[in-house]
Amino acid sequence: MQLKAGDRLKSAVCQTQVMVIAAPAGDVELCCGGAPLLSLDAEAQGGAPDPGHSGGTLIGKRYVSADGNLELLCTRPGEGSLSVGAAPLAVKEAKALPSSD
Amino acid sequence: MNLMTLLEMAAESMAGRVALQCGAARLTCAGLFAGAGRAAQRIRAAQVSQVALLDVASPALPLALFGAAWAGVPFAPLNYRLSGAELGALLERISPALLITDSGRAAQLAQRPGLQVLPRDEFIAHASASGTPGAAEAAGAPGDWSMQPEDPAVLLFTSGTTGAPKAAVLRHRHLVSYILGTVEFMSAAEEEANLVSVPPYHVAGVAALLSSLYAGRRIVQLAEFGASAWLDCAESESISHAFLVPTMLARIADELAATGRVVPPTLRALAYGGGRMPLPVIERAMRLFPPTASFTNAYGLTETSSTLSVLGPEEHRAALAGGDAMARQRLASVGRPLPGIEVQVRGPGGEVLPPGERGEIHVRGEQVSGEYLDGNSRLQADGWFPTRDGGYLDSAGYLFVEGRMDDIIVRGGENLSPGEIEAVLHEHEAVSDCAVVGVPDEEWGEAVAAVVALETGRSASARELQTHVRARLRSSRVPTSVHFVDELPYSETGKLLRRQIRDFLAAPPEAQPEPASTAPAAGEAAPTDSAPAEAPEAAAAPPPAPGRAGRRRFRALLGMALLAAALLAAWFAFSRF
């Protein structure tokens, strides 16, 4: 699917929802729980996450592809885990900063 | 990408947490979300292009901010201290608008063309559904907002200390990038509370709201700042976090010193920023606050969605511990850039300068807007934003900000940074506050003038302060004149009003409330004396209050010695500013 910053997507097989922060041009095979993500208003067919992609998502975490071109924000957590094709996305580790405002 | 995403996440994950508290009023995360929905309905019905808030801090701030984001209309908090004419000019620029304000102003502005005026209490009652049965059902459907990252979210009028205010445009992507880049979602413990005393029209006021909500930290609004009221609130609300502009922190330190009150041990994190922080002021504050309170200096601009760099608690502790000259020096810096921010210091030709060299600070990052309401943008094609702040980086990447480029004094072809001279004056034990500005000078183009407030009970002559500067800086930086005042003029948000100081100094000598004292800089001709100017009381209108009278005004002689000094200045004119 084509992605752009600001897009909101949901998992077809769990409660996960994400917002696209950054995306590469062209097609991205973005999945959660092993099944392609859907747009927020699409009808989910149900089902369960693939056992190979069931690490779960955490709200507020940012998920990035290995090359760093794709970045998502998890806006609702779920049982599936995010991947591009079979390659899992990693949690972007943020340096803890002192509160500044 | 919309600010509403941040609120929706907070409302889903922390529904019952108190998001905001103002006096007795409380809004939970879920309550704020529902209220924003009702506010959005009201805003959409008004069919305006802007939502403006002209008010002190109240629950109307988050309701209007998120209501506007939900409705897809930019939100413009306005300075409630503006005079009628200044305010009129701003309202004209944002019309047609829905204006939320206190009932007194609402009555005054009701007939203004292009404005729909809504009294604040009516707006809050509508949004909290307390006065309108069935209003809950009238709320917009969740998710019913635009996710276009480019949509403008907030318009903030910059303080305009050097000219007419400009409205910085912060788009949803700028603010969301700032929050995602600096705050970990739900990272705050449930008992944490952030005391917000900067006004809603300050970028730190908006940023505090977003950061705290996303972290899950309760916001406690203090509508009118006062040192005593701030301490009362910190105690009664078990405040853990706070942000202050430097003048506020200085006043709290004064209050602690004068009354012997103590800062409650719940206060763990105190951030300050928004204006210059003299080294003696922060050192004194750190000694007066308990060691349980850690300090963070934040540097940012309206146009950059708040903070760009931070000097953290560790660096503050290292500076206070003493023994390390470098650590103390870094206390005068604004720390290092946030992870998503690049900083460069550039020279007049745009060339990137190495560490230690002074120039204009440039920044780049997702949170940097750099554009204004009139369609102008200072953002360069490659994303760099010239901040118009002057400064330098040290070898470890610490950024030192020395003031606005506009305030640089050009004396005989040499560029002088007021901040450098002010820092040295501040080191004098009798000086409580000071400002250095350029004043027109026939010989040099501009001359260095210092305006100084002394510590209570201390004294220092102009000549003594000049000698103090001369011992530490090149002679061209020695103030030609030193004017004593009771206090310096600051805006409510802690910005030194240099324009007022320049106007004050530019007034003809006989119109000045106090005679000035001048003495020659090193290498210049010996002065001749001129009669002390008498100051009529009526001219005391400019904020630098009448100070110690009776000092003598000198006027530097022209002649060969001056010419020699001019040549010397030209010789030394290799400094960047």
Q: Between B279-288 and B313-321, two packed helices, what is the crossing angle to 10 degrees? A: 90
Nearest CA in chain A to B186: A60
For the segment B142-152, the average pLDDT, to the nearest whole number, is 89
Kindly list the distances between the CA atom of residue B151 and the CA atoms of A24, B134, B147, B171, B235, in Å, as whole numbers in the listed order.
21, 31, 8, 6, 40
Whether residue B420 has pLDDT greater than 60: yes
The rounded distance, in Å, linking the Cα atoms of A101 and B424 is 29
Residues of B with CB below 8 A from A76's CB? 9, 12
Distances in Å between the Cα of B298 and the Cα atoms of B220, B331, B338, B416 are: 20, 12, 10, 25
Report the run of H or E that residue B209 belongs to, with start and end: helix B203-215
Tell whether the model's pLDDT for residue B553 goes beyond 80: no
Tell me the average pLDDT across A5-17. 95
Looking at chain B, how many residues does it have? Answer: 577
pLDDT band at B529 (very low <50, low <70, confident <90, very high): very low
Residue B5 to residue A19, Cβ atoms within 8 A: yes
Cβ–Cβ below 8 Å for B339 and A95: yes
Q: What are phi and psi of B60, to 5 degrees?
A: -60, -25
The percentage of chain B sitting over the pLDDT mark of 90, rounded to a whole number, equals 71
Out of A60, A73, A76, the one facing B184 most closely (by C-beta) is A60
Q: Among B173, B184, B211, select the one facing A5 at the smallest CB separation.
A: B173
Q: C-alpha distances in angstroms, B141 versus A44, B29, B134, B156?
A: 20, 17, 15, 28
- Per the structure block, which two tokens stand in for B164? 């007419």
pLDDT band with cut points at 50, 70 and 90 for residue B130: low
A41's tokens: 């208003």
Among B256-265, B284-293, B419-428, B546-555, the minimum mean pLDDT is found in B546-555
B77 near B201, Cβ under 8 Å?
A: yes
Q: What is the pLDDT of residue B569?
A: 43
The predicted pLDDT at position B162 comes to: 57
Helices (H) and strands (E) in chain B, counts: 18, 27
Q: Which of B148, B56, B162, B45 is nearest to B104 (CA)?
A: B56
Look at residues A56, A62, A50, A98 and name the one whose alpha carbon lies nearest to residue A78.
A56
What B352-358 contacts at long range (C-beta under 8 Å, 24+ apart), as own/partner pairs, is B353/B392, B353/B576, B355/B392, B355/B393, B355/B394, B355/B395, B356/B392, B356/B393, B356/B394, B356/B395, B357/B392, B357/B576, B358/B390, B358/B391, B358/B392, B358/B402, B358/B417, B358/B575, B358/B576, B358/B577
B149 reaches A (C-beta below 8 A): yes
Task: Report the distance separating Cα B577 and Cα B575, nearest Å.
Answer: 6
Q: Cα–Cα distance between B434 and B330 in angstroms, integer?
A: 21
Which of B1, B181, B273 lies nearest to residue A19, judging by beta carbons? B1
Which is it for strands B25-28 and B75-78: parallel, antiparallel or unpaired? Answer: unpaired
Helix (H) or strand (E) holding B207: helix B203-215
In this prediction, residue B537 carries a pLDDT of 32
Contact by Cβ (8 Å): B316, B294: yes
Which residues lie below 8 Å from residue B238, measured CB to CB, with a gap of 6+?
Answer: B191, B193, B264, B266
- Tell me, what's the pLDDT at B166? 87
B241 in contact with A, Cβ within 8 Å: yes
- Strand runs (DSSP E) across B348-393, as ranges? 359-364, 385-393
User: Which residues have a Cβ under 8 Å from the Cβ of A34 and sit 6 or more positions away?
Assistant: A13, A49, A50, A52, A53, A80, A83
Which residues does B316 contact at the CB level (< 8 Å), separation at least 6? B282, B286, B294, B295, B296, B297, B331
How far is it, in rounded angstroms, from Cα B203 to Cα B239?
A: 21
Residue of B174, B184, B206, B267 for testing the chain A interface, max A β-carbons within 10 Å: B184
Calculate the alpha carbon distances from B561 to B200, B296, B525 in Å: 54, 48, 5
What pLDDT was estimated at residue B563? 41
DSSP-derived 3-state class of residue B459: coil
CA distances from B218 to B14, B24, B25, B176 (A): 11, 14, 13, 19
Q: C-alpha distances in angstroms, B100 versus B45, B64, B72, B106?
A: 15, 8, 17, 8
The closest CB to that of B185, out of A59, A98, A99, belongs to A59
pLDDT at B419 > cutoff 80: yes
When CB atoms are compared, the residue of A75, A95, A99 closest to B241 is: A99
Q: Which residue of A has its CA nearest to B212?
A: A101
CA B79 to chain CA centroid, Å, is: 13
The pLDDT value recorded for residue B403 is 86
Closest Cα in chain B, distance from residue A60 (Å): 5
Question: Which residue in the set B1, B296, B312 is minimally distant from A5, CB to CB?
Answer: B1
Q: Which long-range contacts (CB under 8 A, 24 or more apart) does A87-90 make?
A: A88/A53, A88/A55, A89/A63, A89/A64, A89/A65, A90/A63, A90/A64, A90/A66
Q: Where are the alpha helices (DSSP H) in B427-559?
A: 462-470, 498-506
A98 and B294 within 8 Å at the Cβ level: the answer is: yes
Strands B18-22 and B218-221: parallel
Return all residues near B65 (Cβ < 8 A) that are at least 6 apart: B3, B75, B77, B154, B206, B209
Cβ within 8 Å of residue B532, ≥6 positions away:
B515, B550, B551, B552, B553
CA distance to partner chain B, nearest, from residue A71 (Å): 12
Which residues from chain B sit within 8 angstroms of residue A61, using beta carbons? Answer: 185
pLDDT digits (tens, 9 = 90+) for B451-471: 999 999 999 999 999 999 999
Query: Could you tell me which residues of chain A have a Cβ less than 8 Å from any Cβ in chain B?
Result: 5-8, 19, 21, 40, 59-62, 73, 75-76, 94-101
Q: A30-56 pLDDT, tens per residue?
A: 999 999 999 988 888 888 999 999 999
**Is residue B126 within 8 Å of B98, Cβ to Cβ?**
no
Over 50: is that where the pLDDT of B573 sits?
Answer: no
User: Which of 260-319 (B) contact A at CB < 8 A?
Assistant: 269, 271, 273, 294, 296, 298, 300, 306-307, 310, 312-313
| Radius of gyration (C-alpha) of chain B in whole angstroms | 25
Greatest Cα pair distance in chain B: 86
> Could you tell me which residues are beta bridge partners of residue A90?
A64
The rounded distance, in Å, linking the Cα atoms of B490 and B510 is 25
B338 — phi, psi (to 5°)? -60, 160
Cα–Cα distance for residue pair B279/B179, rounded to 1 Å: 29
Three-class DSSP category at A22: strand
- Residue B554 binned pLDDT confidence (cut-offs 50, 70, 90): very low
Nearest CB to B12; choose among A6, A62, A76 = A76
Total CB pairs under 8 A between chain A and B:
87
Q: Would you state the pLDDT for residue B521?
A: 41
* 3-state secondary structure (DSSP) of residue B157: strand
User: Stretch B7-31: mean pLDDT, rounded?
Assistant: 96
- Beta strand residue intervals within B455-525, DSSP E: 481-485, 517-518
B173 inside 8 A of chain A by CB = yes
Residue B556: pLDDT over 80: no
Give the separation between CA B182 and CA A99, rounded to whole angstroms: 8
In chain B, residues with a C-beta closer than 8 Å to the C-beta of A21 are 1, 180
Res B136: pLDDT: 46
Instruction: Kindly tell me if the per-residue pLDDT of B494 is higher than 90.
Output: no
pLDDT of residue B140: 55
Nearest chain A alpha carbon to B182: A97
